[in-house]
Amino acid sequence: MGVTRILDLIVLILLATILLMPRPDATVKPALNLDGERRERVAELQSILIGHPDDVAASLEVANIYLDGHRPDWALAAVTSAARFHPDDYRVFHVRAIAYADRFEGEPAFEAAQKALALCDQPKLPAGVPPCDEAVRGRISLLETTLKAIAHVDMKGKPYLAKEKIFQSLHPTFLPKPKHKEKPPAAPAHP
């Protein structure tokens, strides 16, 4: 009885080794494809957020870095956490709208952009929130208008329709490069 258990244990260990060993052709990639300096900054910001989860500046900065690294899920997690502590900060909902749009979720992105615009238009902003000047309001308004056009479009299933509606919403204007006119030959000078 003791020998069979030992053999069973050896077989289980060998089987686990075979199943859990990585393939020799497996390549390892960083989870956040950014330069080393920005990854170090993410580590610093995460350590700040562990001690102070209510630090909105750190949450926004790490969320923006995640968006730059094409990790909208991580950015959404960072700003969702910040929204619990700062429900009246338009910046949190602005980044939240961008993260949802990056995930191709039109309706929640539009709702977040609407909330950001509504918070931006408040006459009195909460303490610590920078003023929502015309440039910031313009960016949020442009995002909200664009997301309104695609709020009910399945962006994953019909990306061509979403692209068409975005272009209609933004009214793209293409200005051709001016053509250089050839100078007429100079007339010979008459003395």
Alpha carbon of 159 to those of 10, 27, 142, 155, 180: distances in Å? Answer: 53, 31, 20, 5, 39
Q: pLDDT band at residue 179, thresholds of 50, 70 and 90?
A: low
> CA 42 to CA 59: how far, in whole Å?
10
CA angle 147, 122, 114 (to 5 degrees): 15
> CA 147 to CA 98: how far, in whole Å?
10
**Cβ atoms of residues 147 and 106 within 8 Å:** yes
* 68 is a domain residue: yes
* 189 is a domain residue: no
Residues above pLDDT 90, as percent of the chain: 39
* 162 is a domain residue: yes
* 1 is a domain residue: no
* 3 is a domain residue: no
Neighbours of 107 (CB within 10 A): 14
Whole-prediction pTM value? Answer: 0.72
Neighbours of 90 (CB within 10 A): 24
> CA 146 to CA 34: how far, in whole Å?
28
Q: Which tens digits make up the pLDDT trace of 104-154?
A: 888 999 999 999 999 998 888 888 889 888 888 888 988 898 888 888 888
- HSE at residue 177, side-chain half, CA atoms within 13 A, is 2
Domain that holds residue 42: 31-170
pLDDT score of 189: 65
The stretch 165-182 carries a mean pLDDT of 64
Q: Environment class of residue 114 by beta-carbon count within 10 Å: exposed (0-12), middle (13-18) or buried (19+)?
A: middle
pLDDT at 32 over 60: yes
* 127 is a domain residue: yes
Secondary structure percentages of the chain, helix, strand, coil, to 5: 60, 0, 40
Q: Which residue has the tokens 């918070």?
A: 119
Question: In CATH, what number is assigned to the domain containing residue 58?
Answer: 1.25.40.10
* 156 is a domain residue: yes
CA angle 86, 91, 94 (to 5 degrees): 120
> CA 97 to CA 169: how far, in whole Å?
17
pLDDT at 18 over 60: yes
| Structural domain count, the chain | 1
* 180 is a domain residue: no
